[in-house]
Amino acid sequence: MHDFRQVDVFSAEPLRGNPVAVVHAADDLTEEQMRAFARWTNLSETTFLLAPTTAEADYRLRIFTPGGELPFAGHPTLGSAHAWLEAGGQAQHAERVVQECGAGLVTIRRGERLAFAAPPLLRSGPADAETVRAIARALRIQPSEVVAAQWVDNGPGWVAARLRDADAVLALDPDYVAMADLDLGVVGLYPPGGEVAIEVRGFAPELAVPEDPVTGSLNAGVAQWLIGSGVLPPSYVAAQGTALGRAGRVHVDQVGDTTWVGGDTSTTISGTLRLR
């Protein structure tokens, strides 16, 4: 038996964020058991807390979608850190937790809310014209409606498209078949002075996640792109999940060379998992 928590991430309102299933002390589980349980939960991500393999880390994490394993993902990182701390995990440093995962070591800052340090991009730079046409087909829009498109891949493979504004993002009716193997993020700005700066949507049908409610890894890549290009200020709040009836809020702060991506976390389900 294993302790189990389901944590809502990126919302201060109950049941309005993105849930992640977290299995504690999972070192005895096989990879096939992990994959099977992730398929069974049918959440965008399910994670397994393991003993670290390096002295620098507080714990190791494996992250699975219903369709496969990810080297890194944002909302599972925050939700798993929340679950680990709530279960009595003792970090080596009072101000931070260090997670080991497929993408390496990820630092999670403790404070008013948990925030992870955005990992380096594995692929960046503008998307070429062919990719922009593929994005437009997947979103059922014209290529001319894509203001800009950029690779923001920090593990899951994200390419992001900026549209005219937040309303254009919310109006999308994507074609998931045409999307094929694109892991696609879409962003649009709100008018200045509001609660949130941008609306974000994230689509990953190849990972069996047609639309993800709130996506930390995508928001991390978008922040590095749009802060770096001067479109967004160093600190802002992003909305995601609106189209799905959620109220995701992603808090972004760039401090020096580090982009911190944070959000509220709360345990909604706790219990015991039996796989044998």
List residues with catalytic annotation. Answer: 45
3-state secondary structure of 8: strand
100 has which bridge partners?
Answer: 60, 105
111 to 85, 204, 260: CA distances (angstroms) = 13, 31, 12
The full 3-state SS of 168-204, as one line of letters, equals HHHCCCCCHHHHCCCEEEEEEECCCCCCCCEEEEEEE
H helix runs in the chain, sequence order: 31-41, 74-86, 129-139, 166-170, 176-179, 216-228
Beta carbons of 113 and 160 less than 8 angstroms apart: no
**DSSP assignment, residue 119?**
P
Tokens of 68: 């496969």
Q: Please give the Cα distance from 33 to 45 (Å, whole number).
A: 15
Give the Cα separation of 71 and 48 in Å (integer): 13
Q: Which helix (H) or strand (E) holds 270?
A: strand 265-273
